[in-house]
Amino acid sequence: MVRNQRHEAILSLIEEQEIETQGELCEALARQGYAVTQATVSRDVKELHLFKVRGTQKRFRYACAVRQEGALSEKHRELFRASALNIRPVGNLVIVKTLPGSASNAGVAVDELAFREVAGSIAGDDTLLLICENAEDGKTVAERLSAVIKG
């Protein structure tokens, strides 16, 4: 139970603040009453699949793309809507046509969605290819992504 609460605290902290290092994360958790070591925070970072992105106040900051399957931050939802032009299933594949130079942006949004049906993805310049286990999964993913565009 404490681990899950700590994980939620970490996710809240990195959404609210620019935290660049595990040491900073330890200090922020301590201010909230969590006595943790850097080794514990290191494990938490790995379990939560945190990664670093460019910050605005600091050089880098921790971020988390996936909180739960099907959840998409408003920022990534708008990014996907702005970049995706056409979505169509082709057997077990889903082809997402985007504006030139925007396929990787669309891919970030799809990665955040963490659909269990998507086994992997490849982004080019204006095409995002999603690989699913079977044609039924491909159709499901295409429908779900189309729903994201429609709002």
Domain membership flag for residue 68:
no
Domains contained in the chain, number: 2
Same domain flag for 6 and 44: yes
Domain membership flag for residue 10:
yes
Interacting residues of 54 by C-beta distance below 8 A, sequence separation 6+: 60, 61
Same domain flag for 25 and 92: no
pLDDT, tens digit, for every residue of 15-71? 889 999 999 999 999 999 999 999 999 999 988 888 888 888 888 888 875 554 455
Nearest partner of 62 among 110, 98, 103, 13, judged by Cα: 13
Enter the pTM of the model: 0.56
Same domain flag for 78 and 135: yes
Same domain flag for 55 and 102: no
Which domain does 124 fall in, by range? 74-150
